[in-house]
Amino acid sequence: MTATKIGIIWNPSKIDEGTLRSAVDDALDGDVQWWETSEDDPGLGMAKEAIAAGCETVIAVGGDGTVRAVAEGLAGSDAALGIVPQGTGNLLARNLEVPLDDIPAALARISAGETRQIDLGWVNTGGEDQAFMVMVGFGIDAQMLVETDDDLKDRAGWLAYVEAMGRAMAGTEMTGITLALDGGGAQEVRGHTLLIGNCGMVQGGVRLLPDAKLDDGLLDLLLVSADGALQWLDTVRSVVWDNGIRRLLTRDETAVSTESTRHLTAERIRVELEQPLAFEIDGEEVGEVSSFDVHVQAGGLRVH
């Protein structure tokens, strides 16, 4: 690869150090510097140190939390993010088609040196802005899909995610939501799930945000308001058929909204909730929030 300085930021709870160092020695040339994440810092500070040290490529080795923290530290810099996925969901890696469960293949992709610019999402829940790579929101979320019953996943594939969605919906209640898109007038809606994403594919090949692209300068929004069994079936049809199988068959590029599933896009989104709800950023719960602001940073990150 053309980079002469490489930073490795690795999560020791996800991989054996000896195994990783051996794979890196076999795959990468140049000056390789190492940083280990900690409970107090999952990678943000290490990424900034890597930039200060002159690293041209910074490789995040871990799960979605490690990748998100490192990406936030690299945002707006010239350094490129490489990913060696070692988590359960590995959602950004899936959307970038990074090899999973194959450390040498993931490192070979980085070693090839090709990069692209992708967007970053930023969310503020009342404090500092936090970056996200995949999606934020409440209700049906990435973590719920990651934790879908393993036995059912083995037997039923993507149908396991439909079952998981049903369980999640059964345990949630509708709430009032005030939405303002791109500085426009506020609109009052009701729903039990709101997702805002930079990319849309989760495990099992399910695309919750079928129009989401990592480099289109937009964020995609999914509002689910299934009230009762009939609307739940409508939601399943929307996710599995209208925005899943049908799109593959027809190559239709437009997401289909229904009575219970509404798709929108925007660069900036302001959300106020009727009551505080548990909120997640890239599958990690960050506590309850009653309002939040989201915006996209177009082309904010280079990735391998």
Phi/psi of residue 122, each to 5°? Answer: -130, 135
State yes or no: pLDDT of 148 exceeds 60: no
- Model confidence at 239, in pLDDT bands (50, 70, 90)? low
Average pLDDT, the chain: 84
pLDDT at 103 over 50: yes
Spatial distance between the Cα atoms of 14 and 63, rounded to a whole number of angstroms: 8
Domains and CATH numbers, the chain: 5-114 (3.40.50.10330), 122-299 (2.60.200.40)
Tokens of 162: 């439909």
Q: Please state whether 63 falls in left (phi above 0), alpha (psi between -120 and 50) or beta.
A: beta
Q: What is the pLDDT of residue 146?
A: 47
User: What integer pLDDT is reported at residue 149 of this predicted model?
Assistant: 52
pLDDT digits (tens, 9 = 90+) for 113-138: 999 999 999 999 998 999 999 999 98
**What is the arithmetic mean of pLDDT over 28-51?**
96
- Residue burial 273-298, b: 16+ Cβ < 10 Å; e: rest: beeebebbbbbbeeeebeebbbbbbe
Quick check: 91 and 209 in contact, CB under 8 A?
no
Mean predicted confidence (pLDDT) in 246-267: 68
Q: Is the pLDDT of residue 256 over 80?
A: no
Helices 64-74, 44-52: crossing angle, 10 deg rounding: 40
Given a cut of 80, whether residue 159 has pLDDT beyond it is no
Does the pLDDT of residue 180 top 60, yes or no? yes
Please say if the pLDDT value at position 214 is more than 70.
yes
pLDDT at 288 over 70: yes
Which pLDDT belongs to residue 174? 83
7, pLDDT greater than 80: yes
Which range (120-129, 174-183, 189-198, 203-212) has the least confidence? 203-212
Residue 297 phi/psi, 5-degree rounding, is -110, 100
Cβ–Cβ under 8 Å, residues 1 and 57: yes
pLDDT at 202 exceeding the cut of 80: no
**pLDDT single digits (tens) 42-77:** 999 999 999 999 999 999 999 999 999 999 999 999
Exposed / middle / buried, residue 40 (Cβ in 10 Å: 0-12, 13-18, 19+): exposed
Looking at per-residue pLDDT, the higher value among 119 and 192 belongs to 119
Q: What percent of the chain has pLDDT over 90?
A: 61
> Which of the listed ranges 1-5, 249-253, 285-289 does the model predict with the highest average pLDDT?
285-289
φ/ψ of residue 173, rounded to 5:
-120, 155
**Tens of pLDDT, residues 80-101:** 999 999 987 788 999 999 999 8
* Rounded-to-10 torsion of CA 39, 43, 45, 46: 110
